[in-house]
Amino acid sequence: MIDINELSKLCETLGCRITPECSLSDYITFRFGGPCRALISVNSARSAAELIKYMKTTEIKYGILGRGSNVLVSDEGYDGVILLFGSDFSHMEISGNTIKCDAGVLLASACVRAQQLGLTGMENLFGIPGTVGGALYMNAGAYGSEMKDVVVEAEYIDENCELHTICKDDMQLSYRRSIFSGTSNVITSVTLELRSGNSDDIKKAMSECMAKRSSKQPLDYPSAGSTFKRPEGSYASLLIDQCGLKGLTCGGAMVSEKHSGFVINKGYATCADVLELCEKVKTIVKEKTGYQLELEPVILQ
């Protein structure tokens, strides 16, 4: 049982904003999903630790959300509290060639700041939606670059609500995975180490990267980005193309005709539509090619 009044008092003490019965469709890039019991905008690592400790002590179900770019939320919503790592927790600290980012910093914002400082190494990551914390959680990457190429350190809250520091070598970074994946540990900050470069050259490379994305990806429709992980030995989009599944629909969800690796929301999709479509794609690809596709977005449940 969630005592909203008690939770609101704790939020007031911590200086965090709380919104009871908040629709999550506004916080998910797919633009669907029902309400959560309350959404709290986290403003610091200490606040996050205190809030998580409260949730565990009172046995309240809770989830962590950043930009919502790699997340699915059911149409019924989330029967618990969502801790939002967003604009209230997005400070960047510069020291030489390093940028220490709060977990709520948008990855794109970190890329732009690096460019302004003449620091190179993040150009290919520009345009990836999501926060720096979320990007590290899944070791996000594009065009041959991954978070593991630039991260050197992170801070996180463990299952006992204690704050720890971890270095890159201990993060077990691999394709779309990290030591944090599938655990209750919560990333609170990420330190990036870059190299000195020419600001104009970096800006040009970022513009070229974004142009490439725009030309190949359906950025004008809501989605969660790449819908399926890359199977070993092939590519999800190639397999889906080979099976003739471009344009396949379920309700308001459709396999993009521009890039078959994306399932998009045509404007009226539900979570059920997307999940049904993804299951159809997985079944047909398995039957025709032998490859077993795996969903990349996390289902908040």
Q: Please check whether residue 34 is in contact with residue 73, taking contact to mean a CB–CB distance below 8 angstroms.
A: yes
Which CA distances in Å does 178 have to 76, 147, 156, 258? 30, 10, 13, 30
Active site residue 296: yes
Structure tokens of 141? Answer: 């990457």
Pick the catalytic residue from 153, 193, 208, 296: 296
Pick the catalytic residue from 50, 176, 178, 223: 176
Active site residue 196: no
Active site residue 176: yes
- Pick from 70, 74, 38, 75: which is nearest to 55 by CA? 38
Query: What does the alpha-carbon distance between residue 227 and residue 296 come to, in Å, rounded to a whole number?
Result: 5
Q: Please check whether residue 67 is in contact with residue 108, taking contact to mean a CB–CB distance below 8 angstroms.
A: no
Pick the catalytic residue from 145, 226, 256, 260: 226
Q: Please check whether residue 169 is in contact with residue 213, taking contact to mean a CB–CB distance below 8 angstroms.
A: no
Structure tokens of 57? Answer: 């002590």
Structure tokens of 118? Answer: 């003449």
SS3 250: strand
Active site residues per annotation:
176, 226, 296
